[in-house]
Amino acid sequence: MTEPSPARVVIENIRPIVECGRFSAKRVRGDRVVVTANVFAEGQNVVAARLLYRTPDSPDWTAAPMEFLVNDSWQGEFTVHMLGTYRFAVEGWIDHFKTWQEGLKKKVAAGQDVSIDMLIGAGMIEDAAARTGGNVGAKMAAFAEALRNKNSSEMAVLQALGQDSTVMGLNPDLEPALRSEELEILVERPKARFSSWYEWFPRSASADPSRPGTLRDLEALLPEIARMGFDVLYLPPIHPIGKTNRKGKNNSINPSTEDPGSPWAIGSEEGGHKSIDARLGTLEDFKSLVESCSRQGTEIALDLAFQCSPDHPYVREHPEWFKHRPDGSIQYAENPPKKYEDIVPLNFESENWRALWEELKSIVLFWIEKGVRIFRVDNPHTKPFAFWKWLMAEVRREYPDALFLAEAFTRPNVMAQLAKVGFSQSYTYFTWRNSKREITEYLEELTGAVMKEYFRPNFWPNTPDILPEYLQYGGRPAFIIKLILAATLSSNYGIYGPAFELLENQALPGREEYLDSEKFEVRHWDWDMPGNLKDFIARINAIRRENRALQETTNLRFCEVDNDQLLFYMKSGPADSDSILVVVNLDPAHTQSGWIRIPLSEFGIAPGRPYLGHDLLSDEKYIWYGERNFVKLNPQVAPAHIFRLRTRVRRETDFDYFM
């Protein structure tokens, strides 16, 4: 048997790709996956390419055409309809028929004899006819025979040059062809890309200041949370809290007997990660909360904190899962200079690590079976990457709709790696990005060609751990500015409430931490306190829901404005939707003004035509002319404009419109 010759094509620069194919690129259900690659061969040979893909439930490949773009670049696409991991590859080969056609054209143009070339072409068509069969194959064979009978006539040459190569490509000669390595696309549900998170401690949900809150109290607040427009309700840990080394108010190491402790010190004689703190309620109460959320169009996100208090049953039942110091005591958690005496970390290097991994997986599956599909993972950067990759793959095999948010304020490479191994969303440094330059550079990094394929940012202006200086000193305008930025720059965002909407800005002296932090005590909030931001938040979330351009992050583009205290950016919607333009005053203390430049040509608005600017926040309208227009923003009144641009609209008034 003759050994086939090696493939002569080269396939390189395939996109989308993450780390040379080591990790999956990410999409959501319903997306078009556009694949590009360079496909070429030596000399004057003409190449062909196709895209192969397979669904998560099929071992068989589906072929999709690729079209030539320019400079050896090819493009094809497929649509993902299932959750799970799709696989795709690019296949390339020399298209001998097109190569023959191109050579024939040149010889005809040069007036050369092409009689032998016609016989060669006839043979190619006969081979293709045999592979194709049926009526199409019969017609191709007849055409080949005609070429042989009049192989040098002018009419035959013209017919050969005009032969549709698409027909030849129905069953191409793929020997020898080259297939690229298989690459992966992780497909998740749309909420992985677009979500609005709201965090609340259930123990602070009571309307009665004389007692702590419960899950039932929180359930009563759901209609208002839904009215504000949040579709994810994130709960800090709801498990029993340990007593050993329990922390008091403001992280004191000398608690009173009434102090409830930190919810992240998980585990007591009442149970561990699969139990609910009896003061909050029962599993039936939790089930009722999950069902009520569903009726309100909201989902529960549960905190997944893989750590224990010294009183956790694991400490007694599996001491090998923890590190012990020379004096026999268990090593508590530290992040110098911080100490967490009430928490002991798990030892992922334990000799019994496989059993530990399986037990932690069982915790996730336990809560999934109780109706939870979203997990906010606490400090994932302190656990092995290999563990997270394994865990999420195991969970998604059975529950592909499960989503995971990585809470990791750590080094950039570590945050990126967590996203690569499978986290659906990631906390970011947005909390501390305040200036125009900081915001622009950071967002351009997050939405750049590399990170956009795997890293989905989730912007939080505040968390129970973090009260940034910008909010401490900027007053009400600062809260509004950060809210608008978070909600319009990123398609995923969240707030820790009700501290945010009640403008809570009291911090520990010299720290970016809340004074009287809810992490260590029960708080009672006057949710309807005058000056609260609930209605404004509801308006922002409504704008997000009503405008598809704000449901993406990677469509962000910064635009020109001549004042560094003003940030101007746009988000283009899909072809059948509108675009959004946002101007924000980053200075919470002073009125700022400047000239913005609107790229009118991109929106089909002719130079010199008037158009109407409609601000979705204030409902005010402005008649503008030309690309450059003046804005003035008083942070005490309205620190931002959010314009919706409806493209190529004509009305009887003969205006173009920002709607």
> Is residue 117 among the annotated active site residues?
no
Confidence of residue 152 (pLDDT cuts 50, 70, 90): low
pLDDT, tens only, 451-464:
999 999 999 999 99
pLDDT, tens only, 325-368:
898 888 888 878 878 899 999 999 999 999 999 999 999 999 99
Confidence of residue 650 (pLDDT cuts 50, 70, 90): very low
In this predicted structure, what is the pLDDT of residue 172?
Answer: 66
Neighbours of 40 (CB within 10 A): 18
d(CA 597, CA 559) in angstroms, rounded, equals 7
Q: Is the pLDDT of residue 644 over 60?
A: yes
Does residue 639 or residue 158 have the better pLDDT? 639
pLDDT, tens only, 220-238:
999 999 999 999 999 999 9
Chain mean pLDDT for the chain? 92
Q: Is the pLDDT of residue 532 over 60?
A: yes
- State in words which class domain 556-658 has: mainly beta
Cis previous bond, 574, omega within 30 = no
Q: What percent of the chain has pLDDT over 90?
A: 76
Q: Is the pLDDT of residue 24 over 70?
A: yes
In this predicted structure, what is the pLDDT of residue 625?
Answer: 84
d(CA 263, CA 267) in angstroms, rounded, equals 9
Beta strands in 387-483 (DSSP E): 403-407, 425-427, 457-459
In this predicted structure, what is the pLDDT of residue 575?
Answer: 73
Both tokens of 234, joined, read: 């994130």
pLDDT, tens only, 481-503:
999 999 999 999 999 999 999 99
% helix, strand, coil for the chain, step of 5: 30, 25, 40
pLDDT, tens only, 546-566:
999 999 999 999 999 999 999
Task: Give residues with Cβ within 8 angstroms of 2, minimum separation 6.
Answer: none
Task: Say if domain 10-187 classifies as CATH 2.60.40.10.
Answer: yes
Does residue 654 or residue 87 have the better pLDDT? 87
In this predicted structure, what is the pLDDT of residue 140?
Answer: 78
**Residue among 303, 378, 453, 518 flagged as catalytic:** 378
> Is residue 401 among the annotated active site residues?
no
**Is the distance from CB of 44 to CB of 99 less than 8 angstroms?**
yes
Strand partners of residue 509: none
**Residue among 91, 199, 285, 407 flagged as catalytic:** 407
d(CA 84, CA 185) in angstroms, rounded, equals 8
**Is the distance from CB of 628 to CB of 597 less than 8 angstroms?**
yes
Domain segments of the chain: what residues?
A: 10-187, 196-238+276-306+353-551, 556-658
Q: Is the pLDDT of residue 652 over 70?
A: no
**Which overall architecture, per CATH, does domain 196-238+276-306+353-551 show?**
Alpha-Beta Barrel (3.20)
In this predicted structure, what is the pLDDT of residue 487?
Answer: 98
pLDDT, tens only, 164-198:
555 565 566 666 789 999 999 999 999 999 999 99
Q: What percent of the chain has pLDDT over 70?
A: 93
In this predicted structure, what is the pLDDT of residue 243?
Answer: 96
In this predicted structure, what is the pLDDT of residue 253?
Answer: 92
Q: Please tell me if the domain spanning 196-238+276-306+353-551 has the same topology as the one spanning 556-658.
A: no
**Which letter, b or e, does each residue of 237-265 get, where b requires 16 or more Cβ atoms within 10 Å of its Cβ?**
bbbbbbbbbbbbbebeeebeeebbbbbbb
- Rounded to a whole number, what is the largest CA-CA distance in the chain? 104
pLDDT, tens only, 290-334:
999 999 999 999 999 999 999 999 999 999 999 988 988 888 888
